[in-house]
Amino acid sequence: MLIRTFFAILTFASAWAQAGEWHLISTSSDLAKKTYWYVDPASIVIQSNLVQARLRTVWSTLQYGPSDIGYQSTTYLNYVDCKNRSIAFTGNTYFQDVASSSEPVHQEDERPLGELRFMPVRPGSSGEVRVNYLCRSSSGSSNSLT
């Protein structure tokens, strides 16, 4: 178990070094399956109460999604409604590696903002951490959709 944990930490450290534009914003507390959420700060854009950003999720264990294909990371476009404390995402791209640098194993089209379904975040959830981070970031950003 200790060797597996060490290997997982080494793998994530390597992925972090390869993807310098991603900043870790949250980590799950589940020791059996660690989940890491990253944001690309350069992708943060603000429009009124909405914040748009490119995010990345990485898992310590292989996940299975569309077509039962194994993946270990995904990137996606995330929208946050700061006023209503809700979140939506689109354009998931799934990768077998933790660095999200391999050829995608599955890709979903990005849907227009008007077609997205915003979901309220639960207090204490990883979604709330993302909403808090992105809404705080919007107050200091000069990027704007308008």
pLDDT digits (tens, 9 = 90+) for 16-59: 434 459 999 999 888 888 999 999 999 999 988 899 999 999 99
- pLDDT classification of 5: cutoffs 50, 70, 90: very low
Give the residue from 121, 137, 129 showing the smallest Cα distance to 36.
129
For the purposes of burial, counting CB atoms within 10 Å of the CB of 58, is it exposed (0-12), middle (13-18) or buried (19 or more)?
buried
In the prediction, which pLDDT does 44 show?
95
Instruction: Using the predicted structure, report yes or no on whether residue 99 has a pLDDT greater than 90.
Output: yes
Helix or strand or coil: residue 36?
A: strand
pLDDT digits (tens, 9 = 90+) for 33-44: 899 999 999 999
CATH code of the domain occupying 2-140: 2.40.128.710
Is the CB of residue 131 less than 8 Å from the CB of residue 87? yes
